[in-house]
Structure 1
């Protein structure tokens, strides 16, 4: 049989998924490895999807999504993000994942380089590999609060660098960048004439640090912004996100959307419309639930002497396990799953700088979360 192209055969996999696939085969496992909210989708959102199915509204929509949803997103971006955009800048996608892939497809050619955070979300590197571009990690270090070092970024720009990806609030770190850092990154992209791809999927969950959209600092149309209903509305399986482009891209976006997906599932689009345009009580309740989980988890970790990064956004805890991981945290995570029945995400899945750390998802029921943390081996006390 023919061989797969080398860029596909050699594409990196996800260390998170490797742990999760094993965990899902073992009933009773405490799963803290994946960013899956435990809360139910709000009833009005479920009803909107059901009504679409009931009336048989399951045919093709325009490539960019149904007009009412795109208009609702325009209002949302103005209300919550300080962005004034035209409806033709909003393109409904199959979750934030496709929006990220679409953004990279638009920004990069084969052989180009894209700067991605390290540690950073796994699919940043996977997407680059799929389009035969090269992901170059920019290091986020604990001693710098896991914030980007602009001077180091300057040194990483080469003749093939075409884009930078930023993610605030961050998965896996839970870091939310202040406006000053966001503006610096936009100015950096402008100095080097780079596209800036902004992953804002966790925008609604911040802890004491307001979310800032990079596009608020964009003066020349270089920012591509990625959003999703998945985390905000606990709609991970509905697969509805959106990509916000610079103005004037309608013709090219019609072509790339048609080639990639044609359109997003119609009932899911109506569910997203109900979520974005409807009452936001469920989002407020979700935020309170995650914040309470965070406080309880921090109490356990602090009392047991763990080093961890206090998050300012998203719903993850970044915990140092270097005292037991012996330089291979993924192997340790597999042993921990086998021995203790708890699945956590190895930090190395998010880049080389994640070695020795693990990511814990806080978006679960309280007691399983705390029990999983209690089973972590404590650092030796002095």
Structure 2
């Protein structure tokens, strides 16, 4: 009997999905604070653009890299919001930010290459790297270092096989935002070791009391690949549109890789994305302010309960320290919380070993659910 490829069989299942599976099996409603799924619908003009595309028959193949009007609008956005001077030809439209990252990994990695990945960090990095038979190597983001990279540790982790470093700011799961100085230092680190830097900027529009800095601003050698998404900014998670930006000499190869992967992003979704960028942005501002209000309300509740946390300055997550409750096994504790209190949270170890003793709460949940979920967490031991 034929066997599945070892890399496919060995790929770990997402720790977040394990909680989701357990929640779906329960016999009563669950307060879901475990998934980064905005509690909003996309702006009405975005939905209208997709509907119009279907109605007018705009449902055919598009160029591998995406329709020209959307790529031009993305280049304008990168110039005005990210401080990046790029041409539309440097932009490849992808099926969400996840596929943008996968294209970047596919273009840069070969079997046995090592990739420096944040720990805690989004688990899909490890999954995608492993599927390509490369080796994920975690670099720590610890509270004693302000949840920022430890450059001495990074230097120790580099080997002749190191090919790429993943940088994620604002961070999922931490909600931390790297300063311009830290971002530039990471680019200089990549320069020094002649490796790629893959920048995950899917939460670039969601910051509070902080300024997002794109690593490509400091890239003089074309080594930074930048991945973005419409999912979080415009509540378009199921529409599946993102984009990948590279130096001009690499963009044709990245676009070529789309053909065997997805051919192209569906045309109505691209119409929706174009409307999102070129239409009014007031709903984006409003959603961001709701996330800020939820954050402040939850932090006040946590202060009352005496639960420690990292104040998030970006994305829509809260990173909570529950180490005094978990007996060194936060994943098991999260399941017990779910079964006892009907509150679903993401255990910190879903994001890497350094996440032991922590949980991630999603501020994308409804405000009342958030506050009730926090109350139940406070009561649970």
TM range (shorter): over 0.9
- Who is 1:10 aligned against? 10
Shift of 1:291: 0.2
Moved more, 23-32 or 158-167: 23-32
CA distance in 1, matches of 2:367, 2:251: 45
| Preserved CA contact (<8 Å) 2:91 2:251 | no
Secondary structure of 1:83's counterpart equals coil
Shift of 1:127: 0.7
TM-score w.r.t. the length of structure 1 is 0.98
What is the CA deviation profile of residues 262-297 of structure 1, one whole-angstrom value per residue up to 9, with x for unaligned ones? 000110100000001111001000010000000000
| Preserved CA contact (<8 Å) 1:306 1:378 | no
| Preserved CA contact (<8 Å) 2:71 2:88 | yes
What is the CA deviation profile of residues 141-170 of structure 1, one whole-angstrom value per residue up to 9, with x for unaligned ones? 111111001111011100100000000000
RMSD of aligned Cα (Å): 1.1
Secondary structure of 2:199's counterpart equals strand
Secondary structure of 1:330's counterpart equals helix
What is the CA deviation profile of residues 171-207 of structure 1, one whole-angstrom value per residue up to 9, with x for unaligned ones? 0000000000000000000000010000000011111
- The aligned length equals 380
Structure 1 spans left out of the alignment, 5+ residues: none
1:65-104 superposed matches below 5 A: 65-104=66-105
| Preserved CA contact (<8 Å) 2:92 2:255 | no
What is the CA deviation profile of residues 70-102 of structure 1, one whole-angstrom value per residue up to 9, with x for unaligned ones? 000000000000001111110000100000111
| Preserved CA contact (<8 Å) 1:32 1:344 | yes
CA distance in 1, matches of 2:313, 2:305: 22
| Preserved CA contact (<8 Å) 1:323 1:379 | no
- Who is 1:249 aligned against? 250
1:20-169 superposed matches below 5 A: 20-26=20-26, 27-169=28-170
Shift of 1:364: 1.7
CA distance in 2, matches of 1:55, 1:279: 23
1:312-351 superposed matches below 5 A: 312-351=313-352
Secondary structure of 2:226's counterpart equals strand
Shift of 1:3: 1.0
Secondary structure of 1:323's counterpart equals coil
**Structure 1 runs, 4 residues or longer, greater than 6 Å off:** none
TM-score w.r.t. the length of structure 2 is 0.98
CA distance in 2, matches of 1:162, 1:354: 25
CA distance in 1, matches of 2:158, 2:333: 35
1:215-230 superposed matches below 5 A: 215-230=216-231
- Who is 1:188 aligned against? 189
Does residue 371 (structure 1) correspond to residue 369 (structure 2)? The answer is: no
Secondary structure of 1:267's counterpart equals helix
CA distance in 2, matches of 1:118, 1:267: 36
Structure 2 spans left out of the alignment, 5+ residues: none
User: Compared with structure 1, are the counterparts of its residues 161 and 187 closer, same or farther at alpha carbon in structure 2 (3 Å cutoff)?
Assistant: same
What is the CA deviation profile of residues 119-155 of structure 1, one whole-angstrom value per residue up to 9, with x for unaligned ones? 0001010010010000000011111111001111011
Shift of 1:372: 0.3
- Who is 1:263 aligned against? 264
Shift of 1:378: 5.6
